[in-house]
A = this chain, B = another copy of it.
């Protein structure tokens, strides 16, 4: 059953978050776990405001400040990943259990697609070596036009 799997993942990420908060000496508040749960129940890419609205819609009593605060904490323990897709707006995606991937952004419809290519890892390794730079992370975005859904007017 699909939902069972989702719940399993939610248990795992809560556990991981819990350990992170403990390790760093932060408090385990209900808001933090609720936000994490809602993120993992939902899909794909979102921004802070959308998440805030979502929480409000579900009648949770949270503030923007807490949303931003929690997103920061979750990013710090790799439960979500921060992105910028060409706009001055931070977008997030859940990252637990996801394999490394990069993004294709359609300049027409704004949709975000994902892809993997091992060459990016090679670039990181080689460049870190050559330039005496310890690379911790990267961001690769390809921009263009999706010839599928978008061009057929969907």
A11-19, A49-57, A65-73, A133-141: which lies at the interface: A133-141
Q: Please tell me how many copies of the chain the complex holds.
A: 2
Q: Does A98 contact B (CB under 8 A)?
A: no
Number of interface residues of A (CB under 8 A): 38
Task: Report the bound CA distance from A134 to B139 in whole Å.
Answer: 20
Residues 99 to 154 of chain A near chain B (Cβ within 8 Å): 104, 106-107, 113, 115, 117, 119-120, 122-124, 126-128, 130-148
A98 to chain B, nearest CB (A): 18
Partner of A134, one of B136, B141, B145: B145
Q: Which 7 pairs between the two chains have the least Cβ-Cβ distance?
A: A135-B144, A119-B119, A132-B147, A88-B88, A136-B144, A140-B140, A138-B142
